[in-house]
Amino acid sequence: MVSGALLIDKPIGVTSSGVVTQLKWAMQNNDYVPKGFRIGHGGTLDPFATGVLVVLFGEGTKLADAYLHSLKAYDGLIQLGAQTDTGDPTGSIIEEKSAPLLIAEQWNDLAQTFVDKDYLQVPPMYSAKKKDGVALYTLARAGKTIDREAILKKISKFEIQLETESSLRFEAHCESGTYIRVLAEDLAKRAGTLAHLKSLRRIRSSDFSLQDCASLPATLSHFKEKKPLGELPSFRELNKLASHLPQIELGELQALRLRQGVKAEAEAQSSLLLEINCQSRYALGKKEGQAVALFEKESDFNRFRLQRVFN
């Protein structure tokens, strides 16, 4: 079976899991994937959001965690003066407050107070984050609000342009798990007003940008017409994925021992990754260009553990 990823420009109004489901049904009608093959994505986009969605299938799904935790970049519009219960245009306005007349330079000065700083972000009630096994959005829809613990997030870029007197266009680069809806609200708070997202578009996920993506309808049509997978410009085979990760070359015996789950070999590669001062959370072991193993740095940062082995 062929393994890899499809790079999709997710349309507005569909969930990320909905995109995956549509692709799964379309791909199953072709000979290059078996029934019941694995498929998933590398980072959720809200239904109202559009942009880069990395859909992984086959052995590619073993890289899901590495993509979930990769750098994401977004642009979009912030509507000033009104807060919605969801933080986006799908919700109801719950409070309004006049917005200050600031110039672009002043907004950018405020935006820079988030960049490369200790930014503690409180997850929104309308999110998939769970409390005691229950998704927060389930509680929110029941009219409940609970205390949520703030989480330290890193913003590496946050730039603002004035769209109108009451709206801002922005570009933000951040680590995985950052809620851009909350970032917009927090920016507005520092200006003494309220806000919600008017639109959101993911322009990059890891090393993939919008230019690498195909539309969902075009991709579904490709599979419906039973065209070869390799003719899809948005297809990336397994061994072309994860170029953003540090990589180490393995010998034949090392690759064999890792695939057999030999603990001593995993520990040896962990020592090598620490020796070369690997700063990434994940690293990939390859043999002659073929993916062999994915390593993950443990929370104490004193070693890497073998997370996945590729067949």
Separation CA 59–CA 91 (nearest Å): 38
Q: What are phi and psi of 200, to 5 degrees?
A: -150, 135
Cα separations in angstroms, 207 against 182, 187, 231, 240:
25, 27, 21, 11
Smallest CA-to-CA distance from 137 within 86, 199, 92, 198 is with 86
CA–CA–CA angle 11, 14, 17 (5° rounding):
115
Active-site residue flag, 46: yes
Beta bridge partners of 53: 8
Catalytic position from the list 9, 31, 46, 207: 46
Residue 116 φ/ψ region, left for φ over 0, alpha for ψ in the -120 to 50 degree band, beta for the rest: left
Q: What is the DSSP string of 42-88?
A: SS---TT-EEEEEEEEGGGGGGHHHHHTS-EEEEEEEEESEEESSSS
Q: Is 106 exposed, middle or buried (0-12, 13-18, 19+ CB in 10 A)?
A: middle
The residue type of 272 is L
Residues involved in catalysis: 46
